[in-house]
Structure 1
C-alpha cells in the first residue's frame, strides 16, 4: 500500500511557488453556510468544552472517514529496489505497490482521511489523496464501505470534495472559525494513520499562519498533535467539536510538528468545488519577492514590510493598471500586506474581473494603483523569483556584454560580496535605478556607487527579473 500523505516533505517546494507571475490568489466567491442542524448533524457534547476529550471524540468521530484510492499504473517498469523507505512513509511518488497479475497494468492502492461536512454525504479531503484515482472508496465509522465520486479538486490549496454514492444517514460535522483559534488552545486530530483507521491524537495549537514552502497559499496551523502518514485530509477539531483545520503536512525529520489547512481557507473554496469542480482565481500578472534588510536599505525603505514587484507580465493586469517593477505593494483595498507571501491569499479573495486597489510605495511616494484582475489558468505556471541573499566583502564579478542591453555575469568569486546573490548567467540591467547598456558601463557605475548603503541591482535571468541588494561593507 502506498501511504498518501500531503506535502510530504514540507521543506521541498511544490510546483506552484510563492512569487508566481500570475497565480497570486486564493479562492474567490461567496462563503458557504455549512449545515449544522440537519437530522444527522453532530453536536459536540457539553463535556468536550470543559476538556473531556473522550466525549468530544464520541460525538465527532462518526463523521470522520477512511479513504482508499486505487490508481491504474503501468507495472512493467516497476522495480522494488527503487522504492525508498522515506518515500513509503512520507510520500514523493514511491512506496510499496501491490500489483495485479497483468505484466503491464496494475493497481496502486493508497490511503487517506476525510470528514463529512453536510447531510448530503459530501466529504472534504486533500486533493493529493485522490490524485489520478480510478476508484475511490470511503469507509464510515460503522464499517460501511461505499464508493465515492470526486466532485472537485483544488491542487493549489490541496483540497478536494467527494460525494459518497448512496449515502444515507451519514453523520456530519461543521466547519468552525480558524481565525478565532488561539495559540495554546487544545485541539484533537482524527484520521486513518498508517491505514489503521480511527486514530485519535491530541495537542495544542503551536502557531498560526505558518509558511513552510508548500505552495503559494501557505497559511498553516501548526500543532503538536501527532499527525502521521494516512492522516492527510483528516479533521483537526477544537474542543467545541468544530473542524478548525485539515491535517496536511508534517516535518519528517522532526517530532510534534504537524500542519493543517485552516478551516476558513477551506470554506472559501467549497462553493466553487461543489458547483463547478474547480476554483477560479484572479491573476495579478506580477512576480513578487520578499524584502530583506539590505534590499530595504537599498530601496530607501524604513522596514521590510510589503511585497516587492520583481517583474511584470507584458500587457498583464498589473502592467495595464500602472504597477511598476520596483514598486512595493503595502496594502490591498486598505488591508496591509505585511509579508510577500500574504499577497496571494489577499488577491485570492477576489474573483477574476474584480477591481482591486493597490497601495504602493514608489520611491519616496505612496501611490494608489487600480488593477482589474485577470483569470489564472491552471496549465500556466511560471518560474519563481529567486530570493537575494546577502553575502560578504570587492564585488568579485567578471562581466561581459549581454545579447542585447545589459552586463552578463560570467563568473562570481566565492570570496566577494556578490557570492550567493548573483550567479553566472544573470544579466545586470540597472545599477541603483540607472540603466546599464553593456559591461563597461556596468563596471563604471559600480565603481562610482557609494558605500553608504547596499548596492541595488536590477537583474534578469532566463527572462525573469528581480531586484538584489549587495552590501559591500559586509564581512
Structure 2
C-alpha cells in the first residue's frame, strides 16, 4: 500500500508588532495638521421691493439691517493632514485639502503653527506641495519604495481625523495597484482607519518610511469601514519632485488614442493573446512623427511588456519629456520597433487626421449594419469637418452583434481590417479577404463625435 505524505512548506511570517509606540514617537514630529481658510462670496438672492412711502417700508428696512451680516462674505474652513519631506520646510498633502484656499496654516506636533504657501499642485493625482519658513531645521520623514510593499504588510496611518488632532491608526495592506478614477492612479488599499481629515497624511511602513499619501475612503456613511486608499509613493515621489523643481508636472506624451485589447480584438488582429494597447488614432505629434499607425498594438515600452492601456499611460507619463524611447508595435502580423521622442502632455494639442472622401454616395448592408457612403449632407447632420470620410452607419439591426457591442446609427466607420474604407464595396472586400485568411472576425475602426474605438465583429 502506498501512502502519500503531505509536506508542509514553512513560510516565515513576521509577527504583529507588540506596539506602534516607538514608530509613532519617531515620525510624529514630521506629521502636520493643515487648516485652510476660504472666502465664500455673499449670497445675492432677490431683495424685496417696497414702494417708497409704504407703511411696511420701515419694517423691511429694519429686517434687512438685522440680516446684513448674512449677506456679507464669510470665511469657510477645512481640515486635512500632511507631512514634512525636507528640513527646509517642504510639505506634502492632497490637492483637495488646499484647493481654492486663501490662507493655509500648518500645525506641528509640538503645537507650533506656521503659514504655508502653495508651491505646486497636480489634480490628476490629487497631490500638492507646500512650503513653510522656519527658523530651525524641521524634522522630516523619507519616502519608501511602495513597489517593495506586499499585501499583508503592516502599515500605520497618521493625521487629523475629523479635526480631532494628531491621531494614529494601524492595519495592513489589503491590496495594491488600485485605480479609482484617474489615468495615473496607483493606490495602496489599507484597512488602517482613515477618516475625513486624514487626507494628505502619510501611510508608513514599519521602517518609518512613507509608502503612500492617504487620499480617499470607500464608505456608505462617510466613516471608515476599513477600505482606505493611499496614493503610492511610486507615483507621489515623482510628482512631488516635479512640483518642487518646476512648480508643475511635466509628463511624457506619446500622442495616440488607445483602447484595451479584448479577446475578440486580439483574434481580429492576429495576436496570440489579449495584451497591449491598441492605437485607435494618431493625431499630429510624437507618435505620428515616428511612423506609428492606427491599428498598431503597442506591446512593449522601453523593454517592458505592456499589459493594457493603463499600464502604457503610466509608463509614458513617468518618462522624462524629450526622452527618446523604444516602442515595439504589432502590425499586420509582425513586430516593428519605433524610436519616439516624447513630447509634454500638458502642452499637447489634439488633432484628428482626415480620412479619404467618397465621391458617389452608395448605400449597402453588411454585418448587421446599414451603411452609406459619406455625403456633404451627412457631414452637416453629424457635425463633421468638410473633408471627413468613411462610411456612415444609418441603422443597426437590434439583434446583431454590432448592436450588442455598442455600434449605433450616426457612427462613422473609417477602417475595416486595418485598411481605410470609403465605399460599401470596401467593406465587402475586407470581409472576403478576412474569410480567405481564415479570420473569424473583422476589425472595424468606429468613430463617434471624433472619438475612435475598434470593434471586432464575427464573420461566422
Q: TM tier, shorter chain? A: 0.7 to 0.9
Aligned to 1:416: 400
Q: 1:399: which partner in 2? A: 371
Flag structure 1 segments of 5+ consecutive residues without an equivalent: 1-47, 80-99, 384-393
**Counterparts of 1:317 and 1:339, CA distance in 2:** 20
How far apart in 2 are the matches of 1:164 and 1:323? 47
User: Matched residues in 2 for 1:210 and 1:68: separation?
Assistant: 29
**Per-residue Cα deviation, 1:24-61 (whole angstroms, up to 9, x for no partner):** xxxxxxxxxxxxxxxxxxxxxxxx99452122222222
Distance between the aligned counterparts of 1:67 and 1:195, measured in 2? 10
Alpha-carbon separation, structure 2, partners of 1:169 and 1:202: 29
- For residues 297-316 of structure 1, the aligned pairs below 5 Å read 297-314=267-284, 316=285
441-450 or 299-308: bigger deviation: 441-450
User: How far apart in 2 are the matches of 1:55 and 1:201?
Assistant: 14
The 5 Å alignment of 1:120-159 reads 120-159=88-127
Q: Deviations over 1:382-426 (max 9, x none)?
A: 99xxxxxxxxxx954343343342222234444321224323332
Cα distance change, pair 434–279 in 1 and its aligned pair in 2 (3 A): closer
Larger Rg: 2
The question of whether the paired residues in 1 share the 8 Å contact of 2:295 and 2:418 is answered with no
SS in 2 for 1:341: helix
CA RMSD of aligned residues (A): 2.9
Following TM superposition, by how much is the alpha carbon of 1:321 offset from its aligned partner in structure 2, in angstroms? 0.7
- Taking a change above 3 Å as real, the CA distance of residues 227 and 430 of structure 1, as seen in their structure-2 partners, is same
Structure 2 unmatched ranges of 5 or more: 1-14, 47-67, 353-365, 380-387
Alpha carbons of structure 1 residues 51 and 365: separation in structure 2 relative to 1, 3 Å: farther
Structure 1 residues 151 and 206: alpha-carbon distance in aligned structure 2, compared to 1, 3 A threshold:
same
| Aligned counterpart for 1:285 among listed residues 231, 255, 269 | 255
Aligned length: 394
Equivalence map 1:324-363=2 (5 Å): 324-363=293-332
Pick from 225, 233, 241 the counterpart of residue 271 of structure 1: 241
1:465 alignment partner, SS class:
strand
After superposing on structure 2, the runs of 4+ consecutive aligned residues of structure 1 that deviate more than 6 Å are none
Contact 1:458 1:466 in 2 (8 A): yes
Residues 139-164 of structure 1 deviation map (CA, whole Å, 9 limit, x = unaligned): 11222222111111122222211112
Tell me if structure 2 keeps the 8 A contact 1:233–1:248.
Answer: yes
> Matches of 1:326 and 1:131 in 2, distance apart?
40
Equivalent residue for 1:206? 174
Q: Structure 1 408/172 Cα, relative in aligned 2: closer, same or farther at 3 Å?
A: same
Distance 1:260 1:380, change over 3 A: farther
Q: What does the per-residue CA deviation read over 1:131-186, in whole Å, with 9 as the maximum and x for residues that have no partner?
A: 12211111112222221111111222222111123363532211111111111101
CA distance in 2 between counterparts of 1:399 and 1:170 reads 69
Matches within 5 A, 1:36-435: 50-76=17-43, 101=69, 103=71, 105-166=73-134, 168=136, 170-212=138-180, 214-253=181-220, 255-314=225-284, 316-377=285-346, 395-402=367-374, 403=379, 404-418=388-402, 419-435=404-420
- Which structure carries more helix by proportion? 2
Give TM-score scaled by structure 1 length: 0.76
Q: Determine the C-alpha separation between the residues in 2 that align with 1:264 and 1:430.
A: 39
Bigger relative contact order, structure 1 or 2 (CA pairs below 8 A, ≥6 apart)? 1
Measured after TM superposition, the shift of residue 318 of structure 1 is: 0.4
TM-score by structure 2 length? 0.78
Distance 1:104 1:423 in 2: 52
Return closer, same or farther for 1:269/1:78 CA change in 2, 3 Å cut-off: farther
In 2: Cα distance, 1:284 partner to 1:104 partner: 49
Judge which range, 284-293 or 250-259, deviates more: 250-259
2:457 alignment partner in structure 1: 470
Matches within 5 A, 1:21-32: none
Q: 1:424 to 1:233 in 2, by over 3 A?
A: farther
In the aligned structure 2, how far is the partner of 1:308 from the partner of 1:330? Answer: 9
Q: Select between 170-179 and 264-273 the one with higher mean Cα deviation.
A: 264-273
Q: Which deviates more from structure 2 when the two are superposed, residues 447-456 or residues 407-416?
A: 447-456
